[in-house]
Amino acid sequence: MARWDPNARQRLERAALELFARQGYDRTTVAEIAERAGLAKSTFFRHFADKREVLSGGDALVRLLTGAVAATPPDAGPRQAAEAVLAAAGEHAFTAERHEAVRERQQVVAANPELTERELLKHEALATALTAALRERGTPDPAAALTALLALLALRTALATWTARPGQDFTALALAELTALCEAATAL
């Protein structure tokens, strides 16, 4: 691969995932990631602050999901906003083409306590961002916070099922999880 290819970020992400899966997160260096991607080490640091960041996807998921909330019609309720969040995740982040990469990423994160902790912090930041997006469209508290948490719980549960079973439609799984969670909440 040429060093000047415009998809450096994706190449670095793929190289890191391959190396993390094969030799472990702790035993992989930034220099190895850059070399595997056919790029200079300095290019790595133009895209990522450190090797933990290479698996995070930056703020892309936050922008995607909060954008889905913002794009929900004004007359739609919180449940429809949560459904829009899950549909956006299924259309853009958890597609059939990305299944293997997402599965590998989940395994790498689960095998490393540092990455697991970072994932939990990202989840909390995403919940805060979704809650704020719901408030912006007029959903009052505590409904905004509860909707955000239910959507993320549905996403997380569906993700576990989806990564374990190739061929499933992520959006369908996530919407079914949301329905089950909403039913459970009303039974309290």
Segment 20-54, tens digit of pLDDT: 999 999 999 999 999 999 999 999 999 998 888 88
pLDDT for res 33? 96
CATH number of the 8-54 domain: 1.10.10.60
Which of the two residues, 57 and 48, has the higher pLDDT score?
48
Q: The tokens 């719901």 sit on which residue? A: 134
164 pLDDT higher than 50: yes
Q: How many helices and strands in the chain, by DSSP H and E?
A: 9, 0
Q: Is pLDDT of 2 > 50?
A: no
Task: Answer yes or no: is pLDDT of 3 > 70.
Answer: no
DSSP 8-state assignment for residue 3: T
CB atoms within 10 A of CB 98: 13
Cβ neighbours, 10 Å, residue 185? 10
Where exactly does CATH 1.10.10.60 map onto the chain? Answer: 8-54
Average pLDDT rounded to a whole number, residues 129-156: 97
Q: How far is CA 120 from the centre of its chain?
A: 11
Query: For the whole model, what pTM was predicted?
Result: 0.87
Q: How confident is the model at residue 5 (pLDDT cuts 50, 70, 90)?
A: low
Q: Are 151 and 130 in contact (CB under 8 A)?
A: yes
| 56-186 to CATH, choices 3.40.630.10, 1.10.40.30, 1.20.210.10, 1.10.357.10 | 1.10.357.10
Task: Say whether pLDDT at 60 is over 90.
Answer: no
Confidence (pLDDT) at 15 = 95
Within the chain, which residue ranges are assigned CATH 1.10.357.10?
Answer: 56-186
CA distance 95 to 174: 13
Q: How far apart are CA 107 and CA 88, in angstroms?
A: 23
Q: What is the pLDDT of residues 123-137, one digit of tens each?
A: 999 999 999 999 999
The torsion angles phi and psi of 141, rounded to 5 degrees, stand at -80, 150
Give the model's pLDDT for residue 140: 96
Q: Please tell me which of 48-57, 83-92, 112-121 the model is most confident about, judged by mean pLDDT.
A: 83-92
pLDDT of residue 114: 87
Q: In the structure, what pLDDT confidence band is assigned to residue 173 with cuts at 50, 70 and 90?
A: very high
Whether residue 113 has a cis bond before it, omega within 30° of 0: no
Do 3 and 35 contact (CB within 8 A), yes or no?
A: no
